[in-house]
Amino acid sequence: MPIAILGVVSVAILCPQPTLAQDAAFVGTWASSEAQCALPQVDPGAPMVVTQEGFDQNEVHCKFSSVSPEADMWKISSTCSVQGDEQSHDFTFAVAGDKLTVTDELGTNDMIRCK
C-alpha cells in the first residue's frame, strides 16, 4: 500500500493539474470599505478572505465545490458553514480592477480589494 500511495504522490508532483481557480483574479481579501479591511477575522464585520478553495469571513466558512469561468465572471457552487450550520450556496464573482462584485439570490454586493 505505501508504494501505491508514493506512486500517486510522484505522479501528482511530476504532472501537476491546474485548477479552474488557480490564477483567479478573485483570490485576495475584500471588503465594503477601507476601514473594514483593517478589522480582524474575530470581528463580525471582518473582510472576506478568498482563496482558490473557498472563503472565510468571521464565522462564515465556505469551501468551493465547483468554479466555472464564464465570460468575465466565475460561477461558484460551495458548501458553507455558519456557526456549525452547513448549507449550499451558489453565487458569482466578477472582478474589474480592484472591485469584486458578488451576486447571489439575495442580490449584488460590490467590494474593494484590501491592500
**Average pLDDT for the chain:** 85
**Above 90 in pLDDT, residue 47?**
yes
pLDDT for 60-104, tens place per residue?
999 999 999 998 899 999 999 998 899 999 999 999 999 999 999
With contact defined as beta carbons under 8 Å apart, do 50 and 24 qualify?
no
Output the pTM of the full model.
Answer: 0.78
- Residue with more model confidence, 23 or 18: 23
Q: How far apart are CA 78 and CA 61, in angstroms?
A: 10
For the chain, domains (ranges, CATH) are 19-113 (2.40.128)
Tell me the chain's radius of gyration from C-alpha atoms.
17
